[in-house]
Amino acid sequence: MTQVTTAPPAAARRAAATAAPGPTGRLRALLAMSGNPLDYLTGLRDQYGPVVRIPLGWRELYMINDPEAVHEVLVTSQRNFRKDVMSAGRGKWAAPLEVILGNGLVTSDGSFHRQQRRLIQPMFHHERIAGYGRAFAELSDDIQSGWRDGGRLDLHVEMTELTLAIVARTLFDVSLDSDVARTVRTAIPRHEGPMRWDSLPFARQLAKLPLPGNKRFYAGRASLHDIVDQLMAERRRGDGQGADLLSLLLAARDADTGEPMEDGQVRDEAITLLMAGHETTASSLTWAYHLLGSHPEARERMHREIDEVLGGRLPTVEDLPHLVWTDAVLSEAMRLYPPIMGLARRPLDDFEVCGHRIPKDTFVGIIPYVVHRDPTWWPQPELFAPQRWLEHPPPDGSADELTGHAVRPGRPRFAYVPFGGGPRQCIGNTFTRMEGVMALATLGRHWEFEPVPGFDVDPLARITIRPRHGLPVTARRR
């Protein structure tokens, strides 16, 4: 006779779940998180496992490290979680970055977010993004025109200028020397005031203080709002046929009601696309060059591929399937240094994951840097090894035990989350990947970069992960 068992009732399951392990000491955790938290969080994963409870201010941060648990939060049970994880007082909640991005795609929630996603998703269809390929290549070519052989560059500054030029062209159809680009470049103090502590406890209280950094931030935000409002007014005076993303946002209509977005919402979405699509790609390219600088064999292999595929000309979208190693370099750079610091969620009800209880209204954090360097899923996790991403072994017999590891069937999909995952996956992920590979290929036709001897690159984790003191290199013409 077959024995039939029934699942225990929900109350019994909750009773069986245990409290998540973690460190004690709220002040120590707060200091570690407000400094450079990457080593701290990685060490907690090693010590405590797939779910770690971290005391942070008056709340608890639950760090989720297991890929299946990440899938549960981002996909299976995603409607049980919200983005508004920061207490705004009197029972209200706010999403990190709401202070700058407003109620755009990154910060909005629930049915409103789903509605906005449906409106904006067609603008990021692969065929439309492919139409920007020429701009990616031409602007990458322009940025290197002022470089000289043997000259010293800060590649983080250069890559930030490049991605600013790209987003200015594709989002607003303006040039890098326009008032728009100058405002974006200078208006927002990115590493002080509300942008410095936005995901920490007391953030909303600190942001209200009359501190110099806060004053500069709010003045810059007002300037950015003004210039986007001016651009919207210009589009409305035109014929409405522009191909830039701002024109498309203004032309978008709700499929059910036929109504356009309100102007304030268009502005929030435009600023979200501007900020999210600018610094993240710049950081990814910067880290790719840092890693290539310390792995000359990988750099030489990329240059050989670029030479063979392009023959000295600018890349096109049609070249992308043949730039296999270049794409693998970008993928591996985003594994070791993901574009964003973390993904934040707030459970609407008590939740159980990996046998541990997570209470409602706590702070659930998924830190891609920590997940991407877990030896359970990534052999030799600290090693820069683009061959992990090769679907086919190279014909020259240079394959090793890491070749193809990242793309083998059966590997957990959510062991790699540089763009998040599920219904809230970054809407610009295809844009970013295409932009990054075409920039590497364009610049790699003529240039290679030598690290500055004695300079230690120190990661700084805030909203993005960037080199604290930039990335100085010596440019060498190939």
For every residue of 223-271, DSSP letters joined together read HHHHHHHHHHHHHHHTTS---SHHHHHHH---TTT-PPPPHHHHHHHHH
The predicted structure's pLDDT at residue 4:
35
Asked whether the whole model's pTM tops 0.85, one would answer: yes
Q: Going from the N-terminus, what domains does the chain have, and what CATH number goes with each?
A: 98-344+426-477 (1.10.630.10)
Distance CA(323)–CA(439), nearest Å, equals 12
Looking at the DSSP assignment, which residues form a beta bridge with residue 366?
A: 343
Distance CA(131)–CA(395), nearest Å, equals 33
Annotation: binding site: 426
Helix-helix angle 179-187:155-167, to 10 degrees: 130
Annotation: binding site for heme: 426
Tell me phi and psi for residue 17, to 5 degrees.
-70, 145
Distance CA(322)–CA(309), nearest Å, equals 7
The predicted structure's pLDDT at residue 7:
40
Please report, in tens digits, the pLDDT of each residue of the chain (478 residues total): 333 333 444 444 445 689 999 999 888 888 888 778 999 999 999 999 999 999 987 889 999 999 999 999 999 999 999 999 988 777 789 888 888 899 999 999 999 999 999 999 999 988 889 999 999 999 999 999 999 999 999 999 999 999 999 998 999 998 878 887 888 787 766 666 777 666 666 677 777 888 888 888 888 889 999 999 999 999 988 876 788 999 999 999 998 899 999 999 999 999 999 888 888 999 999 999 999 999 999 999 999 999 999 999 999 999 999 999 999 999 999 999 999 999 999 999 999 999 999 999 999 999 999 999 999 999 999 999 999 999 998 888 888 999 999 999 989 999 999 999 999 999 999 999 999 999 999 999 999 999 999 999 999 998 899 999 999 999 999 9
The predicted structure's pLDDT at residue 197:
67
Distance CA(463)–CA(215), nearest Å, equals 20
The predicted structure's pLDDT at residue 5:
37
Running DSSP on this structure, what letter comes out for residue 103?
T
Distance CA(145)–CA(147), nearest Å, equals 6
